[in-house]
Amino acid sequence: MSAEIINGKQIAEDIKNELKDKVEHLVSAKGQPTLAVVLVGEDQASKVYVRNKKLACEYVGIRSLSYELPEATTQEEVLALVHELNERDDVHGILVQLPLPAHIDDDLVIMTIDPRKDVDGFHPINVGNLSIGHDGFVSCTPAGIIELMKRSQIEMSGKNCVIIGRSNIVGKPIAMLMLREHATVTVTHSRTKNLSQVCKQADILIVAIGRAKFVTKEFVKEGAVVIDVGINRDENGKLCGDVDFEDCVEVAGAITPVPKGVGPMTIAMLMSNCVKAYEKK
């Protein structure tokens, strides 16, 4: 039997259409919602992501202000820009594209963003609110994964969820969100013993390690839900995930593809966070 392929692209479209409707109704009273996007340097992948974010903004009815700064921009200049955007009443969300160049401290920049404008959900205040179950901004990729499962009628309560990867932007926050959904959560990483055996216990397997096609069918229980957060290039330069899709699609019950899986959901949730920041103002 072959797995259901979860169409993240379509679900992201649905979410953006809902947000577009919502913005149309809100906008006359409060002026246009606005996201400031800050990109430092020449990273090609970052430029593509930033372009996609701006296109999504345009679609939903969010104004985007773009700050594309040269590689040589100093940390002080970036911090000064963030302060200026924090102060501006007509800016509701601030996104500083990561990674920043090596001479700039990512954490310091993130901590400088007003938590009320932190639509990435990376500020320690928002991370803290997530871990104690208070309202706040949840980082977009983990939020997108939960939304993807909810809209695909995937039951999370009481399920065994295994996560591969413990990063601050995916592994740790998705663990918190899965707990909130009443799953039993195991977070694995590079020092985990018998990784494939641990993964094989999972009803829901979430993979975020950044290694192309690392997860093969030996990791996957028959009928399990497999969520692939990876974005890599394979030996032919083609976009691929952390999961060997062709191998795992035969054993999984449901699986997300790359592209058109989790990636588009990240952007949809960014739009959702921007609308939320705007509504709260």
Ligand X SMILES: Nc1nc(=O)c2c([nH]1)NC[C@@H]1CN(c3ccc(C(=O)N[C@@H](CCC(=O)O)C(=O)O)cc3)C=[N+]21
Q: Verify binding: residue 146, ligand X, rule CB under 6 A.
A: no
Query: Among residues 117, 118, 120, 203, which one is catalytic?
Result: 120
* CB of residue 281 to ligand X, shortest distance in Å: 21
Q: Which stretch binds ligand X (CB under 6 A): 73-81, 192-200, 218-226, 256-264?
A: 256-264
Using the rule CB under 6 A, give the single segment among 177-185, 186-194, 246-254, 257-265 that binds ligand X: 257-265
- Gap between the Cα atoms of 141 and 132, Å rounded: 19
16 token code pair: 């953006």
53 is catalytic: yes
Is the peptide bond prior to 142 cis by the omega test (within 30 degrees of 0)? Answer: no
**Count of alpha carbons within 13 Å of 120, Cβ hemisphere only?**
21
Residue 106 interacts with Mg ion (CB under 5 A)? Answer: yes
> How many CB atoms neighbour CB 223 within 10 A?
12
C-alpha count within 13 angstroms, C-beta hemisphere, residue 88: 17
Under rule CB under 5 A, which residues in 239-278 are in contact with Mg ion? none
Amino acid at 221: K
**Active-site position among 16, 97, 172, 203:** 97
| Nearer Cβ to ligand X (222/246) | 246
Q: What is the DSSP letter of 4?
A: E
What would you report as the CA-atom Rg of the chain, rounded to the nearest whole angstrom? 19
State the amino acid at position 132 in one-letter form: I
Q: Which of 62, 177, 231, 240 binds ligand X (CB under 6 A)?
A: 231
Q: Is 190 annotated among the ligand-binding residues?
A: no
- Is 97 one of the annotated active-site residues of the chain? yes
| Residue among 195 and 209 whose Cβ is closer to ligand X | 209
| Contact stretch for ligand X (CB under 6 A) within 22-30, 80-88, 96-104, 215-223 | 96-104
Cα 208 to Cα 66, 119, 167, 190, 262, distances in angstroms: 29, 21, 8, 12, 11
Choose, by CB under 6 A, the member of 258, 268, 274, 277 that binds ligand X: 258
200 an active-site residue? no
Asked if residues 119 and 274 have their Cβ atoms less than 8 Å apart, the reply is yes
> Going residue by residue from 181 to 220, which x/- string records binding to ligand X, judged by CB under 6 A?
----------------------------------------
With CB cut-offs between 5 and 8 Å by kind, which of Mg ion, ligand X, none does residue 106 bind? Mg ion
Per DSSP, the chain holds a count of helices (H) and strands (E) of: 10, 11
100 lies in the site for Mg ion, by CB under 5 A: yes
Helix (H, G, I), strand (E, B), or coil: what is residue 101? coil
Residue closest to 56 by CA, chosen among 11, 12, 112? 12
> Which residues in this chain contact Mg ion in the complex, by CB under 5 A?
100, 106
Q: List the catalytic residues.
A: 53, 97, 120
> Which residues in this chain contact ligand X in the complex, by CB under 6 A?
48-49, 52, 95-98, 120, 140, 231, 239, 258-260, 263-264, 266-267
